[in-house]
Amino acid sequence: MCYKLNIIKKKLDIKLSREVTLDISKKWNESYKIIMRDKLRKKFIIHDGPPYANGQIHLGHAINKIAKDVIIRKKIAIGFKVHYIPGWDCHGLPIEIKVGRKKKKNKYRDYVKKQISKQIKGLKKLSCISNWKEHYKTMSRSIVKREIKAFFMLIKNKRVLVGKKNIKYCKDCKSTVSDFEIEKTVDKRKTKLIIYTSKNKRKGIIITNGIDTIKTIRTMINKREVKIINMGKKEIENIKKNLKGKEIIKKIKVIIYKCCRHKTTLKTVRKRQIYIDTKIKENNISNINFFPSYTRKKFIFSVFRRPIWCISRQRTWGTPIPIFIKRSKVIKNKKIEKLVIKNIRNWKKIKLSSKYSRFKKCKDILDVWLDSGLTHYTVLKGKKSSNFPADIYLEGKDQHRGWFNSSYITSIIINKKPPFRNLITHGFAVNKKGEKMSKSLGNTISPKDLVKKYGLEALRFFISTSNYYNDISFSEEKIKNRMFLIKKVKNVINFMYRNTIKKNKSIKNIEVKTTIDRFILMKIEKLKMEIHKIDNRYKSYKSYEVLEKFIIKVISPIYISNIKDRLYVLERNDISRKSCQITMLIILKDILILISPYLPYYSEIVWKDLFKSSLIETILEKRKINISKKEVKSINILLNIKKKYNLVKEENKEKKLLVIKTRYADIIKPIEKEIKFLLHNYKNKVIKNKKEEIELRYIKNVVKCKRCLGFSTRIINKICKRCIDIIEGKNQKRVFF
């Protein structure tokens, strides 16, 4: 007698060699181009905050780009075409220092191009989807021209100011520095001060010139209350006329301003500079969604309490400030504007007629934060089509005082509305001690090194399943723990893959009728709805937790464990067996799409083998599952009975008759014969009862079948009557399990 079961041992070759990953990445980018040409898909815009074009990519880049890529893949899966152009910030002092001061512009451009090429190679290896050839550079001719056009709009809006003000200057940078390049520390210092007392000698004022106190300080000196304030030379001269002065040396708390690059103390100087008036109203913020929500307060504080913004820098490498100045006046002339916009690359050669002989050409360059801040106009509002405003701006938490800030302020002035609908803030990469990784501290870990040690998919999985709203701590222990979770999920997917039917087989005429099959498909639809709601709040780590829990706690114990009899025991072509195989194919289709943002290569390889198509081009389907409330209730009742049965510790309980006493007898009585496939026991009897109870009754001559491992009193040649019928080719009708 044949005891053979339908146990399939096929394995899928999932070796992520360099050739395999390159081939898949290439196909993703080809698919992305096809998706972007699809007119039926609705557009979704993610604007890339330009990273600085200097140095190798680090874990900060990895967090940022993978967080964006997860959103891109999720949006594509529900039918969007995601407009995403990666960009680079190309100007500024670090590049100028690296190449050398006062070099020809071509030297800087060549250096930047090499750095961008190097970073693109690194980002491609993170399995990020993008049309890399269409990236933007803030130094490109078209963008610089549009930037100058935008700058003249700021002038028209009376937002560009010229004047002498106190500003921080770095002797090593040989330039004024922006607010974002300053590090502030509070320190006690012995300082030479002059105390001026009023004529009645009751109160005094200590006036400092060039020292920044924390605030106006009231303190006691020589038993006299004095007020310490910071004044300029002219103001001091006026005070001297009315007050008597006496020099003292006193230790007071002062703010020390340092250059973020050179760590040298900055001087306060009074120079003619170009400024932007940053005063804007808060009424445009109500329609912006902030993720996480608490960042709204941080954004309001950084944007609406910002002082006047100095945008002029005394440097070489950058976009020239194309204005002619006479004291605090700027020439406003449309012909000159057009001339400047057209010939901005030859700014130094532009000369005006003798009519403007008293106006001097500005020799400064624009702050790089204005270069990147204006990309809502220079990049999103292109010549051919507008992608303004963006649906998402997503960057690190330091960008509240940086790119988020400069983008929002300039957009409100120029476009009269915010440049983004959703503002997402992520944390930093930190080590196991919680210390921020940074180039200056020399404690960074290269993504390349982590990929070598753990594999590309493991690094991506670790980042994409972490809560990036907070800082992400990278440690060997945490990465290994996350890799263990991958195995548990893959085991379930691999089981379904081995036992399903491939799509190219003739399965069109077979309907999914069995209750447990329809029950799990209903559960999948609810899962998709739940994940969609979470994804709309941009908590990808949370949607993965829900997905993982469903795979491990629902698909595996509730579905797979209860269909093994149909899979292994029934005849290969039995309709009931094929029903669960088709169900697994449907489950796999949805699960692979849902898990692809987290395990892109693995899901792509499984998908290709099953469906012979591109996963990324496939839209997640919405299915209407025909299952009644009564059927759902019956499954839930039986699952509760199974829990109770599993708790019973009685010898040979599987060989006994299980009497199920329940008030739901009318619901589960029709399932009575098939309950044994759920509980893996001999036989069950359902009785109407007020209380929920189970009772085991001893039955003689119950023997285990050598083929199906089920229990029966009708055993012939060591196998049960059911197995004999199966071997003889008789169809086994299964309604519930």
What's the maximum distance between 2 C-alpha atoms anywhere in the chain?
Answer: 121
Per the CB < 8 A criterion, the answer to whether 541 and 467 are in contact is: yes
Local structure of 555: helix, strand or coil: helix
Sign of the torsion formed by the C-alpha atoms of 207, 211, 216 and 221: negative
CA pair distance 549, 406, nearest whole angstrom: 41
C-alpha dist (Å) from residue 156 to 149, 153, 331, 374, 628: 11, 5, 11, 16, 66
pLDDT at 226: 66
pLDDT at 383: 66
Tracing tokens 């960008």 back to the chain, one arrives at 399
Say which residue, 56 or 6, is predicted with more confidence: 56
Local structure of 114: helix, strand or coil: helix
Question: Among 30-34, 127-131, 210-214, which stretch is predicted with the lowest mean pLDDT?
Answer: 210-214
Tell me the pLDDT of the chain averaged across its residues. 88
Q: What is the pLDDT of residues 573-622, one digit of tens each?
A: 888 999 999 999 999 999 999 999 999 999 999 999 899 899 999 999 99
Candidates 648, 657, 726, 641; CA nearest to 698 is 657
CA pair distance 685, 15, nearest whole angstrom: 50
Q: What is the pLDDT of residues 415-468, one digit of tens each?
A: 999 999 999 999 999 988 888 877 666 677 788 888 888 888 899 999 999 999
Q: What is the pLDDT of residues 190-236, one digit of tens each?
A: 666 666 665 555 455 555 544 555 455 666 666 666 666 666 566 66
Q: What is the pLDDT of residues 276-311, one digit of tens each?
A: 999 998 878 989 999 999 999 999 999 988 878 999
Per the CB < 8 A criterion, the answer to whether 186 and 255 are in contact is: yes
